[in-house]
Amino acid sequence: KIELDLDIYSLKLKGQYLVDKTNVYGKFETSDGTILYKIVDADINSFQNYGNTIYGKDKKNVYDIRHGKIEKIDLKSFKPILINQKDGSSAFGKDKNNYFFWNNIITDSIEFKKQKKIN
């Protein structure tokens, strides 16, 4: 049972997000099935996905598909770090101040750089 105001006639897939004429939705798989929820803060008119990564953005915020809006992130400098070059998927990102895994800041960025060979 889905209790969302989902407009199936305008629904489109944008990377790992679903977007209809009024809302952006996060969609992800768990061991119990698919979770689908409305990202309340997302601006439908400016929303863009970052390819096939878990990240999306609008004119004010960056989002991940499980947690919604990410706090303490620099919108202008944020970009995903593509770990899987074949399908373009990733749960890692960086901005001018931090590295991220989902919505969490990775505090050991020096070791992270060594392991992932990131510039």
Question: pLDDT per position in the chain (119 positions), as tens?
Answer: 556 788 889 999 998 899 999 999 998 888 998 888 999 889 999 999 998 899 999 999 999 999 999 999 999 999 998 776 777 778 899 999 998 998 988 876 565 565 555 44
Give the pLDDT of residue 119. 44
* CB 80, CB 87: distance < 8 Å: no
Q: What is the dihedral of CA 2, 4, 27, 15, to 10 degrees?
A: 130
Strand partners, 27: 36
Q: Is the pTM of this model over 0.85?
A: no
